[in-house]
Amino acid sequence: MSDAGILKGRLLVVAFEGWNDAGEAASGAVSTLKDLLDMYPIAEIDAERYFDYQFNRPSVTQDDDGNRLLVWPSVVTYGPTSVLAQRMNPLGLAVDAELDVSADNTANVYLLLGTEPSRNWKSFTAEIMATITENEIAGVVFLGAMLADVPHTRPISVFVSSENPEVRRELGIDKSSYEGPVGILSVLGEAAEQAGIPTVAIWASVPHYVHNAPSPKATLAIIDKLEEIIDIVIPRGELVDESAAWETGIDALASEDEEMASYIAGLEQARDTVDSPEASGEAIAKEFEKYLRRRDGRADGRGGPGGSPQGPTGPDDRRP
């Protein structure tokens, strides 16, 4: 566990469905935390102000009794029930034993989960920052996932960065050098830093050739990294088995598609070259040049298996 300054106080862990959430990996990580921790909703945004329902459409589901329910896009902030209990019972009298929290950092973890808003981002950011201030949040951890040219058969690459010099020094991480379009995570991150609240961003790379399916392996990788950064033990539940089944399923598809199998083999070779202990800068550069030639060979727009053209990958590529 890290002893970085960002950990000294309440932490808000943030993920949004949508552009920042390839393979539903980031939102899956926060959903896992919400299911595992004893949380209650402390704030919900007014969806009418921030969503275009032709872009973020409501969905229909059924409850346990078979009744049809409309589910609207939303953004909800959750806080630990133990804090609510303290507010309701400040003298500490006769607190329900089921609300007791272990000696780790659980009572300091807050969550924000929802769909990326489609309009009024500045007003949205101001509303989220008000919730952060009201709940005395001392640090924010942003979770994201991006599509990348990476093989599903190797460990998921996870990159950690921060715009805060002190956090970078204490965690031994870098500042992102990305330039280009950004998602709501970057907007909220800038607002938090300007307010003096340190931030960390954790991004996972999801194989682009399976972009239509949830990626439990990427969710698991984010949770592994999150556990390193915040002082909390996170049970993995069924994620380990789901990750293995996900990988096995893609193996089966590749075994029936020669082009896909060849493409994945090329990604594996590139990854193994970069990860090998004896890899030199020259070897990595040559492997990257080979990758560019393969990409240029797909310049007709087919991209690769799955028909999704992607750019080169790296710690800062396509990560807002």
Question: Residue 240: is its pLDDT beyond 60?
Answer: yes
- Cβ-Cβ contacts under 8 Å for 93 (sequence gap 6 or more): none
pLDDT tens digits, residue range 79-135?
998 766 555 555 444 343 333 334 366 788 999 999 999 999 999 999 999 999 999
pLDDT tens digits, residue range 27-38?
999 999 999 888
Question: Residue 150: is its pLDDT beyond 60?
Answer: yes
Q: What is the mean pLDDT of residues 229-253?
A: 88
The whole-number pLDDT of residue 290 equals 54
What is the pTM assigned to this prediction?
0.80
The whole-number pLDDT of residue 247 equals 92
The whole-number pLDDT of residue 86 equals 55
pLDDT tens digits, residue range 259-318?
989 899 889 888 888 776 655 555 545 555 555 555 455 444 434 443 333 333 333 344
Q: What is the mean pLDDT of residues 219-230?
A: 92
Q: Report all structural domains of the chain as residue ranges with CATH numbers, in order of start.
A: 5-243 (3.40.50.10900)
